[in-house]
Amino acid sequence: IVYKGLHEKLNMPVAIKMMKHDMALNEDFLANFKEEAKILAKLNHDNIVHVHDIEERYRTVFIIMEYLTGNTLKHLLKTTPRLPEERVINFLVQICNGLNLAHQNGIVHQDIKPGNIFILPNDRLKILDFGLACPTGSENFLMGTPFYMSPEQVQCMPVDQSSYIYSLGLVVFRMITGKKPFEGKNHWRVMEARTEKEIPDTADLVTDISAPLREFILNACAREPDKRYQDVSEVLTSIKGLMAEYGFGNGNSVKPKRKMRMFYLIYENEDSNQLNSVVNDFSTAIQRFGAELNAGELIDL
């Protein structure tokens, strides 16, 4: 269960992920939940949701995370089925940057899908839900989302970087074509199809797709793991020309230029409580535009 809350020390809104009490009685589930919290806490990156604190109270566990304003990629694709190639490359670079840090910490995210990619108002991306993350080489049983699972996940085989690169390729396929490569009402058949045949060629669906992006999708989504990119750095190398063309640098996070404005609040002591409420509302409101409010030390005049 996820709640919106206020972090008293930081004086800012936060998202609080709480384990349900009945699940807290399950030792395995509790261990997995704590492991997710530990994973997130050490993945400090602009493109991964940030964890402020981990608390154990009231016989359950809470993960206190940054509060995000915006929408998921899944929501965007419902209203805008096809995205311009420049925006697709922007998103692809940011996702790769976040996944690369996860790999450096020995972690594979097993559920890369549009619903786990959050878009902030300035097109900054955050990767969500590391609840299904696991160490490289782990064997897991059908952990992931049917439409975006790699063939080896479907077959309950060990996963590595190439597994989530496959899922990433499917996400990019969806962004650039407006379609999923394998669809159907029967989820089992959708998953089985991925183990039996290659994905459709995007060039047959989108006439204006660039050759490097088409090659990325075909390589990332190769049915055999050893025929795919083996790590995220290979992906970034393969689209280096596109990044240069669109001005995205050498794989660094895409950061818009930012400005800072300072102002002071001067008020009477008796107005403190009412003013704090107004400031909190203001802080929440400006986050919709990707802005941040940071308070300095209190000064007596």
Main-chain dihedrals φ then ψ at residue 42, nearest 5 degrees? -95, -5
The rounded distance, in Å, linking the Cα atoms of 179 and 175 is: 8
Crossing angle of the two packed helices 85-104 and 211-220, in degrees rounded to 10: 40
Determine the Cα–Cα distance for residues 74 and 248; give it in Å rounded to an integer. Answer: 23
Closest CA to 154 of 164, 137, 142: 142
Contact 114, 73 (CB under 8 A): yes
Query: What is the identity of the amino acid at 301?
Result: L
Question: Torsion over CA of 188, 189, 192 and 198, rounded to 10 degrees?
Answer: -140
For the record, the structure tokens of 1 come out as 């269960």
Residue 56 CB: number of other CB atoms within 10 A? 13
Verify whether residue 281 is a known catalytic residue: no
Q: Which of 46, 53, 111, 160 is catalytic?
A: 111
Sole residue written with tokens 């402020």 = 52
Q: What is the DSSP letter of 201?
A: P
Q: Mind telling me the catalytic residues?
A: 111
